Structures are given as C-alpha cells and as structure tokens.
Structure 1
Amino acid sequence: MIMKRKLFAVLAVSTVVFASCSSDKDPIVTPPVDGNELTELNGSISGNAVVKGNTINLKGATIVRAGSTLTIPAGTTITATDKNAYLLIEKDAKIIAKGTSSSPITFTSTTKNSGGWGGLIINGNAPLSRAKESDASTFPTEINDQIQYGGNKADDNSGELDYIVIEYSGSNITQDKEHNGLTLNGVGNGTKISNIFIKAGADDGIEFFGGTVNVTNLLVVNSEDDMFDFTQGYTGTISNAYGIWESSFTTNEEDPRGIEADGNHDGSTPTAFGQSNFKINDMTIVHKATAAGTAGTMKEIVKIRRGAKATINNLLIQMNETAKFGSIFDFTDSKGNGDKTSTVVYSFNPASLFDIAKIKNPEGVTLTKNETQTGANTTAFAWTKYSF
C-alpha cells in the first residue's frame, strides 16, 4: 500500500476562486442569498450548507472547511463531471448525509466507469499511530498536504453517513496514486457510518487511515485494488461486510487483496505507539473473477502485516473453482510481520481449493478453520438491489 498523494492547490473560503491542479480557475461557489443552499458542489464551502435539488453536479475538488456542516438530503444524486472532482470534509467539519433504504444518497460519475472521480474523503481528530502515547499526531492528507488529519479525540464526530452509494471512483492522478471510494482519515467513533455500498472503483473500496470509527453494513463490489484497507493505527470495528469480485471483473493493479492491514503508515514507523488493532465481525470475501493472468488474480485474500493486529470473527471466504490467488492468509512482510496475537475464525469454500501451503504464518497467529462460519448477513443489503 503506497501513500497516494495528489497535489491540488486549494484556496480557503467559499467566495474565493478555487485553483485546480491544472491551474485553471474553477467557478466561485456562490450560494443563494440565504447562504445555505447549494445547487452544485465546487471549491470551498464555509458555514452550514444544504444541497438543493434531487440531482446536482460535483464539478471539481470540493472542501467543506473546519467549522462547517454540509447536509445532503435523502434521495440526492451527486454526479462528478470531472475525474479530478472529489468531496473532502476537513477536521472539525461535518457531513450529514442520511439516506433511507428507499431513498439512498448516490455519488456517481458521468463516465460510468471506474476512475471517474475522486471519491469521498473524511478527515477527523482521532488518534493515529505515533511516536508516543501522549502525542496528538497529525498527518497530511494524501490529496492535499496542506490539509491535516488526526489528533487525540477518540470520540471525534465528523457527522453521519447512512444508506450511501459510492460508484466509479478512484481517479488516477499518477500511475501509483489513486483515490479510494471512501477514505476515512483519523475519523472518530462519534461519527456514524452505516449501510454503505461501494462499487466499481479503481483503487480500494474503503481505506481507514488511523481513527476509531466503526462501520456497519458495508458492501464492496469490484474494487480494483483492496476491498478493505486498514493502516496507520486504526482501532475501530467493522460489522457485517461483504466484498466480491464478480466473474467478469478484471484489474490492472499489482497487488489487490480482500483485506490489507498495516499497523503503522507504510511500515515506516515499526516501533510507533498505537499500531492498528481492529475487529471485524461477520465478513464475506468472494472471488469469482475468471480473467486470464494477473487481471483476475487476487494476490492475497487476507494480508495482515507491519505490526497490525486483527481480530476477525465469522469470516467466510468463497472462491470460484477457477479462481486465481496467491496466499489465503499472509502475515509476513519485509517491513514487519503482523501482530502474533491476531486471531481469525474462518471457513473456506470450496474445500478443493484450500491449500495449507498458501498460509504464511511464521509468528503463530491463531487461525481457526471452522466450516460453520456463515459470513455477512446479505439481507442487510437488500436496499442496494444487488443480486448475490
């Protein structure tokens, strides 16, 4: 996992011209006279704002500034019209995006292809891995190193996401730098995130950079890199998650995985305090891709490394009979192995593809193979209308 920095220049207030990475001047964000309704998203947003209209455009890089709240009503569709467009919530700002099962909020792209836009990024004040416990470590956001995330507020509140669709994200800035679908940077557990559907993204489905936030009912379909990615001291819990590569899926990523977990940032601080120590309850990882060569190969199904500790209960791994993959579990890495106190209780189907040689566990992590494990409860995703 490479830190994916994107260089965008952003000026700070909503009535000031926003400079894009191409140095062209984007339109000024000018809300109506009452100052709280937005009919498009672009540039900086200061103060409390509400999206107006069932369908609006995300026309460029959009940043909700500290002290501000962006509210998105149920049933809204936000369409990115430029691959460099993204929505970022700064530390001390909030997003309130509460859809319903019958009226979800959708973030999409005009391209209808992976890599069509930059995704949703939320920054918070929750802890990261750091030199010592008393540090309130902060870190530059990968898309804009002038914007920081992280701190010492485990219960920090960045708002609420519920019944959200994020599709066609992961725009490619350089060959090895892409956005994710949902990026959570130092987000605290005062933030509520549930019922999230991420599909057809060019990079990770969801990535946690530190923080303590919990996520419930998470569906990731056809992410070209990792389905679920954890790093930099993440300590929350994921409950009821399902990730799948469909039979027609292909990827050009070098090392796609079901789960990828680092204890600290890119393995650069192996002695840091507050390494990743997270829980996953009820998860299914499905690999049905049949493409030839690396285009249909999952490098590892579960990769826990660089000091990360994972406690995974009720993991179901399902493979197509012709699925190509490297390791089932891999706890090794040149920058440090996974924490040996990790535990995983799992089942693997079909049994004919299970190979003990595909488990790399030199530290003696407790792996319990139990064929009664059922994985995620897919009825929780009925609102997505996805066919399992």
Structure 2
Amino acid sequence: MKTIKLLSALAVSASLMVGCSNDDPAPQPNTGFDLEINSQNDFDPKDLKGNVNADITLKAGTEYLLTSSLRVKEGKTLTIEAGTTIKCKAGGTDVFVAVERGAKLMAAGTAAKPIVFTSDATNGRPGDWGGIVIAGKARTNKGAEAETEVAGLKYGGTQDDDNSGVLTYVKTQYTGAKINGDQEFNGVSLYSVGSKTVINNLYIANGADDGIEFFGGTVNVENIMCVNIKDDMFDFTGGYTGTMNNMFGVRENGFNDATEDPRGIEGDSNGSDPTAAPVSKPTMKNVTILNLSPITALKAGAEIRRGTVATIDNALFAAYNGASFGNLIDTDDSKGNGTLTITNSYKMGTVGSNKVGGTITGTVTEDTAAITASGNNLSMKAGRGADFTKFAWTGYALKK
C-alpha cells in the first residue's frame, strides 16, 4: 500500500495564511502521522486509523476516535487494555477494525472494566460504523483462499486450531454500516477463526445487520448477548463447526428497525453446493431467542438450511407482549435443506410452527411460565435457554 503522508504543521499554517480572513476557522493541529503505524507512538489517538505494522497497545484512560479502517497486519498484535473506550466516527463504511490472518487482537476486558466500541454521535444509530472483522486460517467450504464480504481480507486454510487472539468482555454498539445489498458489516464477523482463539462475554447492541456471524472456522464462543439487531441475531455459514454456548438474543418492545427476514438463528453451509466440505455442523447450547416487539415479527426462531447439520440443546423460543415469530424452526430451502437435532427445548407465546424441508429430530415443549413479569421487569425461569445472570456485567435489564 502506498504511504500517504499528511501535510506538516508548518505547511498547513502557511497555506491558511494566504487569502484567509478573520472569519476563517482556526487552523487544526496536524500530527504528521501517516497511514502506516510502525511503532507504539506512531498514531494519533484522536485520529485512529491505518495499517498496524507493529505490536501496539490502546491504553485505558486515553480518548480514542476511530476515523477509518484500522488493520492489524499479519504477524502483528493489537492489544486493547481493559476499560478502554473507542469511539467510532459515525457515517462511514470505511470505519472498522480488521484483523488479518496471522495477526492477533488481544482485547481482554473484565466484568468490572469492559472494552467498549461505540459511535461518536450524540445519538448513536444502527449502522454508524462497521464493526470488528477477524480473519483466520481454519477451514471453510468457500475455498482455501476466500475473501471477506467486507474489509477485503483473505481467509481460510487448514489450521483449525489457529489463534487470532482474545475478545472478552467487549461491547460493540451501533455497527452494521452498509456498502450495498450484498456487503454489510455485522457487529462481530469471524472468518475461518480457529479454536485456540478465545471469544466470550460479548454485548452486541443496535446493529444494522447481524449481531455475530461465523464464516467457516472452528472457534467456540460463550456468553454472547445481542440486543435490537436489525437482521439475524446469530448467524453462521461456510462450514462453521464450533460450539456456541449461552447465547441470548432479544428485540425490545417497540423495536421496529428490521430487515425483511430477520431470524434468531440463521444457519447456512453453502448455497452453491450444500454438500461442500466442511459442512456446517455447529452445536448450540443454552440459547434464548426472545421477541418483545409486536411491531416486527421474527421470520423464524431458527432457520437451518443449505446443507447445515446442526444440534441445539436447551433453547427457549419466546414471544411476549403480543410479539410473534413466523416459524419456529425452518429447515426448508430451495438451495438445500437443513438437518436439525433439538433436545431439552421450550417455546412460549406465538412462535409459529415448524416448516420442515430437511429433517427435524426432537420436539420443543410449551412452557407458558418460562418468562414472568414483576411490574415492568421480566424474569427468566432457570433451566430454560440461556443463563441471563451471565450478562450482569453489561448492566442490561429485561423490561416488558
């Protein structure tokens, strides 16, 4: 990539002196940084962007503004300290964090000091910025040298135990900037991410596309919460074979910003060839899909299709406040049916019936008391879907 140098402070000052009136804005300081970050001190925290060509750390207590893409290059590590907040410039599809194959993101927050990515807008909106995109070397059925839907990263390989770092106790808000109808960012996008990568305790809210999506790979994730996601809460494709444990997705009462076909879970393997190896074979345990908004129905609680062979254990599909689902489980698709084994699972409210194309093994039991109200607060029955207490660190409260 050609290095783009910024004007020096002297040049900026000189140019402003020519033909300027007293009404002209005051000159802005210029740091002199370029788009290649080659050392810890080689970037401006208030204009954070560029190619990360060295191991660098974003430190808690420093104000950061992500203004364009921040790309961690192969062999390098971006570390983000617990308690760090990164504001992201609103309104641009080029504002995102991307981690190349062979690079690492070490974002280890804590329950007391989470790491936060959010919009810099006074009133943030879904799609204000892109999101977090991580590429790895694990397998995908999209080919050994596939390219990400956004950010232009290569992904895939044969190293199923690849390690792309750590993402824990992290909040991402107002993501999902849209490039076109086929290219949209998710809150967190994981492309062929391997099993030695540690991903847990994520809070993804107000996203304009999917909450979290897996494109192949073997990474296991735990304690993921998605709130007010415009499209699918939890999505996978491309031969994903990991485990998702304790996943909680909710659309709040009054939420009306939805795509034409939003789902709680959308599971694909390969729409061009549903037999392509590896076939998506994820295991999902302790999952809650909850719709509280009567304005927008979920198309399905879970849509398992296009060659996917999935297992779900202990799920709760619930609609409350007059909300609804179109279908409970859908395994029927013109590009290939899906296969689902479901055990120890429950439903409540108007959540539709199964649409069977492929095989559905197991039943979903009615439980009219899975969710109860005390005043305006909602409570979840223990043992029904996700353990909501695991998300106490987010400060989020369930309301009617």
Deviation at 1:300, TM superposition (A): 1.3
Moved over 3 A (4+): 15-18, 29-38, 341-345, 370-373
What residue number does 2:81 align with?
73
Q: Name the CA distance, whole Å, in 1 between partners of 2:275 and 2:351.
A: 35
Deviation at 1:93, TM superposition (A): 0.2
SS in 2 for 1:380: helix
8 Å Cα contact 1:128/1:138 also seen in 2: no
8 Å Cα contact 1:129/1:210 also seen in 2: yes
Q: Deviation digits for residues 173-217 of structure 1, max 9, x if unmatched?
A: 124532100000000011000110000000000000000001111
What residue number does 2:294 align with?
290
Match of 2:50 among 34, 43, 46: 43
Match of 1:370 among 365, 368, 373: 365
8 Å Cα contact 1:36/1:49 also seen in 2: no
Q: Name the CA distance, whole Å, in 2 between partners of 1:46 and 1:248.
A: 45
Where do 5+ consecutive residues of structure 1 fail to align? Answer: 1-10, 19-25, 131-135
Deviation at 1:362, TM superposition (A): 3.5
8 Å Cα contact 1:17/1:43 also seen in 2: no
Match of 2:188 among 158, 178, 182: 182
8 Å Cα contact 1:224/1:251 also seen in 2: yes
Deviation at 1:31, TM superposition (A): 5.6
Change (3 A) 1:33 1:274: closer
8 Å Cα contact 1:167/1:199 also seen in 2: yes
8 Å Cα contact 1:120/1:183 also seen in 2: yes
Change (3 A) 1:301 1:17: farther
- Listed as ranges, the matches of 1:92-241 within 5 Å are 92-111=102-121, 112-129=124-141, 137-145=144-152, 147-241=153-247
Q: Deviation digits for residues 204-255 of structure 1, max 9, x if unmatched?
A: 0000000000111100000000000010000000111100000021124111
Change (3 A) 1:368 1:154: same
Q: Deviation digits for residues 261-294 of structure 1, max 9, x if unmatched?
A: 0012xx0122311110000110111001122xxx
SS in 1 for 2:362: strand
8 Å Cα contact 1:219/1:241 also seen in 2: yes
- Listed as ranges, the matches of 1:348-363 within 5 Å are 348-350=347-349, 353=350, 355=352, 358-363=353-358
8 Å Cα contact 1:36/1:48 also seen in 2: no
Deviation at 1:320, TM superposition (A): 1.6
What residue number does 2:28 align with?
none
Deviation at 1:371, TM superposition (A): 5.0
Identity %: 41
**Higher RCO by CA contacts (8 Å cutoff, separation 6 or greater):** 1
Deviation at 1:313, TM superposition (A): 0.4
TM-score scaled by length of structure 1: 0.85
Letter in 1 for 2:130: G
> Are 2:342 and 1:343 aligned?
yes
Change (3 A) 1:33 1:342: closer
Match of 1:273 among 266, 272, 277: 277
Q: Name the CA distance, whole Å, in 2 between partners of 1:375 and 1:270.
A: 29
Deviation at 1:55, TM superposition (A): 2.4
Letter in 1 for 2:154: Q
What residue number does 2:266 align with?
260
In terms of mean alpha carbon deviation, does 249-258 or 46-55 score higher? Answer: 46-55
Letter in 2 for 1:271: T
Deviation at 1:259, TM superposition (A): 0.3
Change (3 A) 1:31 1:270: closer
Change (3 A) 1:289 1:27: farther
SS in 1 for 2:363: strand
SS in 1 for 2:66: strand
Q: Deviation digits for residues 56-98 of structure 1, max 9, x if unmatched?
A: 0111011111011000001100111142200000000000001
8 Å Cα contact 1:77/1:106 also seen in 2: yes
Change (3 A) 1:202 1:17: farther
Deviation at 1:336, TM superposition (A): 0.4
Letter in 1 for 2:260: E
Q: Deviation digits for residues 134-158 of structure 1, max 9, x if unmatched?
A: xx7221111244x210110110000
8 Å Cα contact 1:343/1:366 also seen in 2: yes
Letter in 2 for 1:61: S
User: How many pairs does the alignment contain?
Assistant: 352
What residue number does 2:71 align with?
63
What residue number does 2:14 align with?
none
Q: Name the CA distance, whole Å, in 2 between partners of 1:87 and 1:321.
A: 37
Letter in 2 for 1:59: T
SS in 2 for 1:169: coil
What residue number does 1:3 align with?
none
Q: Name the CA distance, whole Å, in 1 between partners of 2:190 and 2:222.
A: 14
- RMSD over equivalenced CA pairs, Å: 2.2
